[in-house]
Amino acid sequence: METLWPQIERLLAQVTKPARYIGGELGAQVPEHHPDAAAWLLVYPDTYEIGLPNQGLQILYEILNERPDSVAERSYAPWVDMEAAMRAADIPFFSLENHLPARAFDVLAFNLSAELVYTNVLNLIDLAGVPVRADQRDEGDPVVLAGGHCAFNPEPLADFVDCFVLGDGEEVVGEISAVVAAHKQGLPLPGGPVAGAETGSRQALLRTLSQVPGVYVPSCYEATYTEAGPDDPMPGALRLAATTPRYPETPPRVEKRTIADLGEWPYPKQQLVPLIEVVHDRLNVELFRGCTRGCRFCQAGMITRPVRERPADQVRTMVSDGLARTGYDEVALTSLSSADYSGIESTVTSIIEDPACSGQVSVSLPSLRVDAFTVGTAAQIQRVRRTGLTFAPEGGTWRMRQVINKLIREEDLYAAVDAAFSQGWRRVKLYFLIGLPTETDEDTLGIVALAKQCVEIGKRYHKGVAVTASVGGFVPKAQTPFQWFGQNTIEELTRKVHLLKDAARGVRGLTVRWHDPKATAVEGLVSRGDRRMGAVIEQVWRQGGTFQEWSECFELDRWTEALATAGQSLEDAVYRHRTEREPLPWDHLSAGLHRDFLWQDWTDALAAHGLEDCRWTPCYDCGACTGFGIEHVVASAVPPAGGSQGTGQDLSTGGQVPVRFLTTAPSGAAPAPVPVDRAPVSAGERRS
Amino acid sequence: MRLRFRFSKLGKVRFTSQRDVARMWERALRRAELPLAYTEGFSPRPQLGFGLALPTACESLAEYVDVVLDDTRPETASVDVDALPARLSGLLPDGIEVQQAIVVERRATSLQQEVTLCSWTMSFRGLDRQELTTRVASLLAASEVTITRERKGRQVEDDLRPSVLSLTVVDGPDDATGTVELTAELATQPRGVRPVELVRGLMAVAPPSASVDGGPADAVGVPVLDRACRTNQWIERDGDRSEPVALRAVRSDASAGCGLERAS
């Protein structure tokens, strides 16, 4: 295999950010390929700056390079200018370490962290010189594999990807490597010959892989369709009937993989330090995996259960070794809800009091819990650079937050914001979702009411405060209680954005930002699509629609045209509510969650009934632990003092604002300590 | 204490920007556990001063950075300055090699103000030696060479000629790859000239000549800058030239390392 570097080098003077394509990061491994090792190209199908920090990819990169039967290199999507230059010069997609053509690898493994990158996946397979459709690949082509959160509804990519991996990759990549390495050497495959498949053939390889737990091979399954009945909102529409195995050895249902103990996997050991600036450009240490807060909109929280904490001493070692090795001056303690880590306080304190850090290291918790305690911790760790704090109440009213099961009481939110402003922060950012199930205009406008209240709290401490309400349109995801919900239309989301803009107009210190509802619709389209969505994705890609998550590249028209060509519509695929018995495209894939648990949780949501966090309270039997014979790994089974986000708290007062946060109370008159029902929009309203 | 380092930037790492190099230095200095002095204020940063920015994709044998150490810390006095080049080279990415370190006056003139001209070698593709020689002669003979360049995001017209102090086509046979080499001395005051701007100047002095075999005129004569390497930064005072950090005699042949044929 010959390096393409001399040809690549000639292109680099004419493209933007040429250092995206040179490799050479601290921690990069330049492996020597050999005939008995499976060669993996790990691909993040977005720009280098977005993809490089991805921890999942870095973990697998190290594990694969440690194994004797595999080697791994990395690559990222070349930006449009580089892609054009490569195609003009006939240079294929290449790896960053040895600058080898992608086709020279045995496995092209894509990280699927977001749905809008799907057209990039097709583009990169094509740029690699590999047939885009899986059924057109032959013996000489690499296995195209994909993993990551989006793999929990992989059907839209079923035509293009040979194998998907569900769940944690740490263990399963080794099992896949063993199969691929044996196939490469012409040795018998683990599990023996496959009936009806020629020994050594691509089909034998894929059917063997389909028997590895956690691996889903779409070509081993058949999707059948049926006409919708008369009780369907769209009678006569073609609907998925079932997805069933084609072969006797194919498992009818693929279960996700879960590593039981994060402490056994202290990766990445050598986090990559890029030569150019990237997102999350800092040391990242994973505190725990999984989250049982039970926020119903959150796919990550549902599919990564149970909670598995990393031992505190291992966290400390990974932080101190990592800082010394990389020279970074910032470390992020990552997870889905870092403040929930048992002993977060002592962990943080031990880091900032480490003499090696000499007071110049800042620690960040990317996912702050909304309460005053958390802000105290944040104040302690952001001594060095105190810029802005971000909270995610997600819903504008207490009722809305009960529906989505993000049980942040008004009291806790305002206490958190008060603590932030009083401790020196001047900028607070609040994340919200619009288009949630059962949402009324009152709920939507609650976002502005709440944000205004935060501005008022800030004004007590600072002259110039900035509160940003960042509003995203809700996209229902597979394997969550909201998987049956019909997404809000583009028009409806746009109307709600206008409601918010109008309500926030003229409020000094408040900014409303929002995501493009058109992109939200497309995200919804591919999130819950079935195999027929493949034709749509392919047409959009063929029309040049890559980098769809970049607003400068996104065009809705490409998608609506492709939908029309395929005889589909946003109404049916995105906006339609699914019924309880309707077969879903991911029914044969399992994140461990029982379907009846999810349906019950959906029913609870509609009744605005919240659930406490199961790591500290009795089990709801969602299936994630029992199904896999594992359980939560937490150092402390006691919820934080004073309760937290609905657990161990009095929820009957969740929507009430304590008087000390009611800013417009007449001065002098001691306000009676009687809470009101909702955050006041104005003094007039409150008094009436 | 203020330290001044001289370093090279060669090979793949040339595709990183000046800002990237600054960040590489910050991390390397922290890894070396040097007692750095930090700026005051909300967002303290180590006090680093780079000289004239090296354009992305250009190589260099003569880059400089000033680093301020914290004099209030006891470790500062015991820093072994002579050992720093080897130590830091091991902590910086491949292609960045620290050649020398010296202590300079705390209040020494900044590199940006001190340096008056730079020497460059450049190699071109798509232009034969004769063509390049003619263009160089025309440029040197011209009293004014106007080019368009970007300054603070705006296109401005500028006379390049006063900044071009010397320009020589390097003798040698045309090699198989069709590259021709040029050396140049370019003034840095009031503004530096970038190699791509010099190329624009060479284009501006005459229209592209018709190709010998009668092909389209623009098929030849459009020089592609293949490699550019800053070989020296000079401080010129009263006709005498010196470098911010002169290389010790043993390393003085280092400029041979800027061979443009060198594999990267």
* B175 in A contact zone (CB under 8 Å): no
Most A-contacting residue of B10, B14, B15 (CB-CB within 10 A), to test interface: B15
Arithmetic mean of pLDDT, A478-503: 98
Give the amino acid at A276.
I
CA distance B240 to chain A (A): 35
Q: What is the pLDDT of residue A682?
A: 33
For the cut 50, the answer to whether the pLDDT of residue B217 exceeds it is: no
CB A121 within 8 A of CB A108: no
Instruction: Please tell me the least confidently modeled range out of A178-192, A196-210, B115-129.
Output: B115-129
Compute the C-alpha angle A600/A605/A606, nearest 5°: 100
Residues paired with residue B69 on neighbouring β-strands, in sequence order:
B36
Contact A24 B17 (CB under 8 A): no
Q: What is the pLDDT of residue B204?
A: 86
From chain B, pick out residues whose CB is under 8 angstroms from the CB of A276.
Answer: 16-17, 20
As a whole number of angstroms, the distance between CA A53 and CA A48 comes to: 9
Task: Please state, as a whole number, how many other Cβ atoms lie within 10 Å of the Cβ of residue A506.
Answer: 7
CA distance B186 to chain A (A): 21
Q: What is the pLDDT of residue A357?
A: 61
CB A302 within 8 A of CB A623: no
Most B-contacting residue of A275, A354, A382, A383 (CB-CB within 10 A), to test interface: A275
> Residues near A45 by Cβ (< 8 Å), separated by ≥ 6?
A51, A76, A77, A110, A111, A112, A117, A120, A121, A124
Q: What is the pLDDT of residue A663?
A: 59
A154 φψ region: left (φ > 0), alpha (ψ -120 to 50), beta (else): alpha
Nearest residue to A57 (alpha-carbon basis) of A217, A260, A218, A284: A284
- Comparing alpha-carbon positions, the chain A residue that sits nearest to B42 is A385
CB B123 within 8 A of CB B182: yes
CB B13 within 8 A of CB B89: no
For the cut 80, the answer to whether the pLDDT of residue B257 exceeds it is: no
- Residue A233's Cβ-side half-sphere holds a number of Cα atoms within 13 Å equal to 10
- Cα dihedral B72, B78, B80, B84, rounded to 10, equals -30
As a whole number of angstroms, the distance between CA A547 and CA A119 comes to: 7
Contact A24 B12 (CB under 8 A): yes
User: pLDDT tens digits for A195-227?
Assistant: 999 999 999 999 999 999 999 999 999 999 999
For the cut 80, the answer to whether the pLDDT of residue A521 exceeds it is: yes
Q: What is the pLDDT of residue A380?
A: 72
- Comparing alpha-carbon positions, the chain A residue that sits nearest to B31 is A327
CA distance A12 to chain B (A): 8
CB A608 within 8 A of CB A405: no
Most B-contacting residue of A5, A7, A9, A20 (CB-CB within 10 A), to test interface: A9
From chain A, pick out residues whose CB is under 8 angstroms from the CB of B225.
Answer: 13
**Which of A556-565, B143-152, B210-219, B220-229 has the largest mean confidence?**
A556-565
Q: What is the Cα Rg of chain A in Å?
A: 26
Query: What is the residue-averaged pLDDT of chain A?
Result: 91
Tokens of B237: 């005072």
Compute the C-alpha angle A9/A12/A15, nearest 5°: 165
Strands A308-309 and A288-289: antiparallel
Q: What is the pLDDT of residue A12?
A: 95
3-state secondary structure of A517: helix
As a whole number of angstroms, the distance between CA A260 and CA A258 comes to: 6
Q: What is the pLDDT of residue B189?
A: 83
For the cut 70, the answer to whether the pLDDT of residue A387 exceeds it is: no
Q: Going along A365-474, which residue ranges are E strands?
A: 388-394, 427-434, 466-473
> Residues near A495 by Cβ (< 8 Å), separated by ≥ 6?
none
From chain A, pick out residues whose CB is under 8 angstroms from the CB of B45.
Answer: none
Q: What is the pLDDT of residue B65?
A: 97
Give the amino acid at A25.
E
3-state secondary structure of A626: helix
As a whole number of angstroms, the distance between CA A245 and CA B91 comes to: 54
Residues of A with CB under 8 A from a CB of B: 5, 9, 12-13, 18-19, 21-24, 26, 273, 275-277, 324-329, 360, 384-386
Nearest residue to A293 (alpha-carbon basis) of A305, A281, A275: A305
Contact A276 B16 (CB under 8 A): yes
- Comparing alpha-carbon positions, the chain B residue that sits nearest to A325 is B31
As a whole number of angstroms, the distance between CA B203 and CA A167 comes to: 58
DSSP state of A614: T
For the cut 70, the answer to whether the pLDDT of residue B222 exceeds it is: no
For the cut 90, the answer to whether the pLDDT of residue B26 exceeds it is: yes
Most A-contacting residue of B9, B13, B16, B225 (CB-CB within 10 A), to test interface: B16
3-state secondary structure of B140: helix
CB A675 within 8 A of CB A655: no
Q: What is the pLDDT of residue A618?
A: 81
As a whole number of angstroms, the distance between CA A301 and CA A290 comes to: 6
Nearest residue to A165 (alpha-carbon basis) of A114, A117, A212, A235: A212
Q: What is the pLDDT of residue B137?
A: 94
Residue A681 pLDDT class (50, 70, 90 cuts): very low
Q: How far apart are the first and last CA of chain B?
A: 36
Which one of B19, B30, B44 has the shortest CB-CB distance to A384? B44
- Comparing alpha-carbon positions, the chain A residue that sits nearest to B73 is A358
Give this complex's ipTM.
0.89
Which one of A13, A19, A273 has the shortest CB-CB distance to B16? A19
Tokens of B180: 């021709």
From chain B, pick out residues whose CB is under 8 angstroms from the CB of A85.
Answer: none
As a whole number of angstroms, the distance between CA B166 and CA B187 comes to: 10
CA distance A279 to chain B (A): 14
User: pLDDT tens digits for A50-71?
Assistant: 999 999 999 999 999 999 999 9
From chain B, pick out residues whose CB is under 8 angstroms from the CB of A385.
Answer: 42-43
Give the amino acid at A525.
L
Instruction: Please tell me the least confidently modeled range out of A325-334, A620-629, B172-181.
Output: B172-181
3-state secondary structure of A676: strand
User: pLDDT tens digits for A593-645?
Assistant: 999 999 999 999 999 998 888 888 888 889 888 877 888 888 887 777 667 77
CB A593 within 8 A of CB A624: yes
- Comparing alpha-carbon positions, the chain B residue that sits nearest to A5 is B264
Contact B30 A327 (CB under 8 A): yes
Tokens of A123: 């583009």
CB A70 within 8 A of CB A40: yes
> Residues near B246 by Cβ (< 8 Å), separated by ≥ 6?
none
As a whole number of angstroms, the distance between CA A602 and CA A405 comes to: 10
Tokens of A576: 């339609």
For the cut 70, the answer to whether the pLDDT of residue A76 exceeds it is: yes
For the cut 70, the answer to whether the pLDDT of residue A480 exceeds it is: yes
Query: How many angstroms from the chain centroid is the CA of residue A474?
Result: 14
For the cut 90, the answer to whether the pLDDT of residue A350 exceeds it is: no
Task: Please state, as a whole number, how many other Cβ atoms lie within 10 Å of the Cβ of residue B214.
Answer: 7
Compute the C-alpha angle A512/A516/A519, nearest 5°: 150
3-state secondary structure of B230: strand
The phi and psi torsions of B76 (rounded to 5 degrees) equal -60, -45
Tokens of A244: 């069933």
Give the A:B interface size as CB pairs under 8 Å. 62
For the cut 50, the answer to whether the pLDDT of residue A73 exceeds it is: yes
Which one of A9, A277, A327 has the shortest CB-CB distance to B31? A327
Nearest residue to A605 (alpha-carbon basis) of A395, A430, A431, A445: A395
From chain B, pick out residues whose CB is under 8 angstroms from the CB of A12.
Answer: 15, 57
Q: Does domain B2-113 have CATH number 3.40.50.1220?
A: no
Which CATH architecture does the domain made up of A5-255 adopt? 3-Layer(aba) Sandwich (3.40)
From chain A, pick out residues whose CB is under 8 angstroms from the CB of B223.
Answer: none
CA distance B235 to chain A (A): 29
From chain A, pick out residues whose CB is under 8 angstroms from the CB of B94.
Answer: 24
For the cut 50, the answer to whether the pLDDT of residue A354 exceeds it is: yes
Cα distances from B230 to residues B50, B195, B233, in angstroms, run: 15, 10, 8
CB A279 within 8 A of CB A32: no
